Amino acid sequence: MIAILIFGNHATQLENLSCYIKPKNYKHKDIKALSGDIMAKITLYQYEGCPFCAKVRAKLEELNLEYEKVNVSTDGEDETRVMIREKSNVSTVPVIDIDGEFTGDSGPIIQKLESMG
């Protein structure tokens, strides 16, 4: 059994130790957050009522990943729609941007998120 006392700056040392202390059922995200790493920036381009988008939102929440939602226009010629189509090569929503890497289609998006969890 190891007892750790935290006084002031010693909290930082504890954060560093988090690389080695992996509690049961830890999530990679928790360890990254504890160790002070920068989390991936995730933006989901979606329609609120789209079932494929709902599947992706559910996965993001299940994995406890923070993300920003952008509700896009139904107009395929809208500026944001054109941008996500060009970057993902997919003309439907959902499209996800993970640190500048765009992925479309709920199946591949979910696979990608699971690989990060």
Ligand X SMILES: N[C@@H](CCC(=O)N[C@@H](CS)C(=O)NCC(=O)O)C(=O)O
Q: Which is nearer to ligand X, 94 or 97 (CB)?
A: 94
Number of residues near ligand X (by CB under 6 A): 11
The rounded distance, in Å, linking the Cα atoms of 22 and 79 is 44
- Please give the helix or strand (H or E) that residue 68 lies within, else none: strand 68-71
Q: Which is nearer to ligand X, 97 or 105 (CB)?
A: 105
Contact predicate 26/33, CB 8 Å: no
Provide, rounded to whole angstroms, the least separation between the CB of residue 54 and ligand X. Answer: 9
Kindly state whether residue 69 participates in binding ligand X, applying the rule CB under 6 A. no
Q: Which is nearer to ligand X, 98 or 106 (CB)?
A: 106
Provide, rounded to whole angstroms, the least separation between the CB of residue 83 and ligand X. Answer: 14
Residues 12-51 that bind ligand X (CB under 6 A): 47, 50
The rounded distance, in Å, linking the Cα atoms of 93 and 104 is 7
Among 30, 32, 92, 112, binds ligand X (CB under 6 A): 92
Contact predicate 76/90, CB 8 Å: no
User: Reduced to 3 states, what is the DSSP secondary structure of residue 80?
Assistant: helix
Kindly state whether residue 70 participates in binding ligand X, applying the rule CB under 6 A. no
